[in-house]
């Protein structure tokens, strides 16, 4: 019976977010008494928008992948842990025996938190529940306790929802996504880091004057400040660093310029379907629950990672990340499979800095260093999790695998250490709580007396 449930969940989740999300949105819309035709049209439009977004992301990763491999080959360094990227970790998470329970648990937690007004996020992004399942799987394998595994997943879920609520007003105004929150564990945990980093840079003379957001760059450099031109220029620079031939350098520049040009249009298509539907659902809820005018629909971080400022920052940090992996002592993972997805953790930093590329790149460097060390440290455990579900290792994999970003996620690492009774992890609880509370208080300075986010 248990295996049947696991197989059923794996089959459903195998459709991917571009199929699952429209289905969930359609069912949800009908439940909230949206007309059949409006629900169907909006749900399909959302699906088409996600198809477009993921096609452009495939272009980004497919274009960057060979350049990253070339830069790594040119470094002459061969580190023992293979960076498989996040997709194998998602597969491992959903194949874990606790995955079906975690999915149900996450839904229950979301409902309970909504009922008691502990969250404003209605998380419909079922596919990304793998982040919680993976956190639970790591704790489960590390401790051998299913209870600890489920508790770890639950803590990760609650943290994600609260951070999604915190960052939602910034998403609404700075990214032009009203009524949306982004409860993706691999990204939203860096929002407080971005807030703190932004406030610290404000105190540094000279550095606090640099405002390198897409709008100011465009105003200063004219056509060469256009997002598509920035993509072309950064692509050419990366191609030169990778020692590509002229033809490949130009192709990379054109591909990355296309990403910058096309992605905002794909997001616009998605929002065309989402906004009428979210407005209808919100109106329904407000009639029956007049005190809940603040609910947000939780979506995949993919809706903002194609923002020109996010992509530009990520491209700047790609060669820096490889350099750090080569020179930092104790790092045993070479970022490869996950490096094109560096846009994911950086996205929320760009939200916090109001799309300031220079500030976000500066804040991103210590984030990368921490991820490299945590991914190196967690590699044996991730490998054990993979072996426990008989995961078929990628061809060419060494004795250990991990993902540079998701395998070096600070929240997952802390949960594992906490479950194992690590005294540093336990001591960190009050320290982290005080720090987050302080950063939250700092972020309130971004709002006026009416509670509206200032420009």
User: Are the beta carbons of 240 and 257 closer than 8 angstroms?
Assistant: no
DSSP string, 298-355: E--GGGTTTSHHHHHHHHHHHHHHHHHHHHSTT--EE--SSGGGGHHHHHHHHHHTTS
For tokens 């999790």, what's the residue? 385
Residue 221 lies in a domain: yes
Q: Burial level of 85, CB count in 10 A (0-12/13-18/19+)? A: buried
How far is the C-alpha of 441 from the C-alpha of 443, rounded, in Å?
5
Q: Is residue 136 part of a domain?
A: yes
Give the H or E element holding residue 2: helix 2-13
Tokens of 261: 């040009």
How far, in Å, CA of 354 to CA of 199, rounded? 12
Question: What span, in angstroms and rounded, lies between the C-alpha atoms of 146 and 318?
Answer: 38
Cα(118)–Cα(430) distance, rounded to whole angstroms? 21
**Nearby residues of 37 by Cβ (< 8 Å), 6 or more positions away:** none
Closest alpha carbon to 312 in 184, 226, 404, 188:
226
Asked if residue 128 lies in contact with residue 108, where contact means CB atoms within 8 angstroms, the answer is: no
DSSP 453: B
CB contact at 8 A, 348 and 187: yes
pLDDT at residue 209, as a whole number: 82
Q: Tokens at residue 134, please?
A: 């993976």
CA distance 109 to 98: 16
Using a 10 angstrom Cβ sphere, with 0-12 exposed, 13-18 middle and 19 or more buried, the burial of residue 315 is buried
In this structure, is residue 187 part of a structural domain?
yes
Give 81's DSSP letter: E
How far is it, in rounded angstroms, from Cα 211 to Cα 206?
11
Whole-model pTM over 0.85: yes
Q: Is residue 439 part of a domain?
A: yes
Tell me how many domains the chain contains: 1
Pairing of strands 180-181, 296-298: parallel
Q: Which residues sit opposite 296 in a β-bridge?
A: 121
Q: Which domain holds residue 12?
A: 2-443
Count the helices and strands in the chain (H runs, E runs): 17, 6
Identify the CA nearest to 54 among candidates 259, 209, 323: 259
d(CA 348, CA 352): 6
pLDDT at 256: 87
The answer to the question of residue 449 being in a domain is: no
Helix (H) / strand (E) element for 180: namely: strand 180-181
Specify the 3-state DSSP secondary structure of 211: coil
End-to-end Cα spacing for the chain: 55
Q: pLDDT 10s per residue in the chain (455 long)?
A: 555 655 666 666 666 667 777 888 888 788 777 888 888 888 888 888 888 888 887 888 788 888 888 888 887 777 788 888 887 788 788 778 888 889 889 999 999 998 888 999 989 887 788 899 999 989 998 888 999 999 999 999 999 999 999 999 999 999 988 888 999 999 999 999 999 999 999 998 888 887 777 677 766 667 667 878 888 888 898 899 888 999 999 998 998 888 888 878 887 887 788 777 777 776 776 777 677 667 888 988 988 887 888 988 988 898 899 899 989 999 998 888 888 888 899 999 999 999 999 999 999 999 999 999 999 999 888 888 887 767 666 665 557 888 888 889 999 999 999 998 899 999 999 999 999 999 999 999 888 887 788 76
CB 403 within 8 A of CB 185: no
Count of CA atoms in the C-beta half-sphere (13 A) of 58: 6
């Amino acid at each position: 019976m248990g295996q049947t449930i696991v197989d059923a969940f794996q089959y459903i989740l195998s459709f991917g977010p571009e199929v699952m999300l429209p289905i969930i949105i359609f069912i949800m819309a009908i439940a909230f008494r949206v007309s059949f035709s409006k629900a169907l049209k909006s749900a399909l439009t959302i699906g088409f928008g996600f198809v477009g977004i993921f096609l452009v992301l495939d272009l980004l990763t497919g274009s960057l992948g060979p350049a990253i491999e070339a830069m790594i080959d040119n470094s002459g360094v061969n580190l023992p842990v293979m960076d498989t990227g996040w997709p194998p970790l998602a597969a491992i998470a959903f194949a874990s025996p606790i995955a079906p329970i975690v999915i149900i648990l996450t839904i229950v937690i979301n409902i309970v938190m909504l009922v008691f007004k502990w969250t404003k996020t209605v998380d419909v992004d079922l596919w990304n529940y793998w982040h919680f399942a993976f956190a639970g799987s790591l704790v489960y394998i590390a401790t051998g306790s299913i209870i600890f595994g489920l508790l770890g997943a639950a803590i990760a879920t609650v943290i994600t929802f609260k951070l999604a609520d915190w960052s939602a007003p910034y998403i609404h105004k700075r990214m032009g996504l009203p009524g949306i929150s982004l409860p993706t564990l691999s990204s939203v945990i860096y929002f407080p880091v971005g807030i703190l980093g932004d406030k610290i840079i404000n105190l540094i003379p000279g550095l606090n004057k640099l405002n390198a957001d897409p709008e100011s760059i465009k105003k200063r450099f004219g056509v060469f400040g256009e997002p598509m031109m920035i993509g072309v220029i950064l692509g050419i620079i990366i191609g030169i660093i990778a020692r590509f031939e002229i033809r490949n350098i130009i192709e990379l520049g054109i591909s990355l310029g296309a990403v910058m040009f096309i992605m905002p249009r794909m997001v616009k298509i998605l929002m065309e379907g989402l906004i009428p539907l979210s407005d209808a659902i919100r109106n329904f809820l407000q009639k029956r629950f007049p005190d809940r005018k603040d609910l947000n629909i939780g979506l995949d971080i993919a809706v903002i990672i194609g923002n020109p400022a996010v992509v530009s920052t990520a491209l700047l940090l790609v060669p820096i990340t490889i350099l750090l992996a080569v020179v930092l002592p104790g790092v045993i993972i070479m970022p490869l499979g996950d490096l094109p997805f560096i846009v994911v953790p950086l996205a929320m930093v760009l939200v916090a800095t109001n799309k300031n590329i220079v500030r976000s790149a500066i804040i991103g460097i210590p984030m990368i260093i921490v991820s490299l060390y945590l991914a190196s440290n967690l590699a044996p455990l991730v490998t054990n999790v993979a072996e426990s579900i008989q995961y078929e290792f990628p061809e060419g994999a060494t004795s250990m695998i991990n993902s540079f970003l998701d395998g070096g996620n600070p929240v997952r690492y802390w949960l594992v250490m906490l479950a194992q009774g690590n005294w540093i992890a336990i001591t960190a609880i009050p320290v982290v709580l005080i720090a987050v509370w302080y950063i939250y208080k700092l972020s309130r300075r971004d709002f006026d007396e009416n509670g509206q986010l200032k420009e």
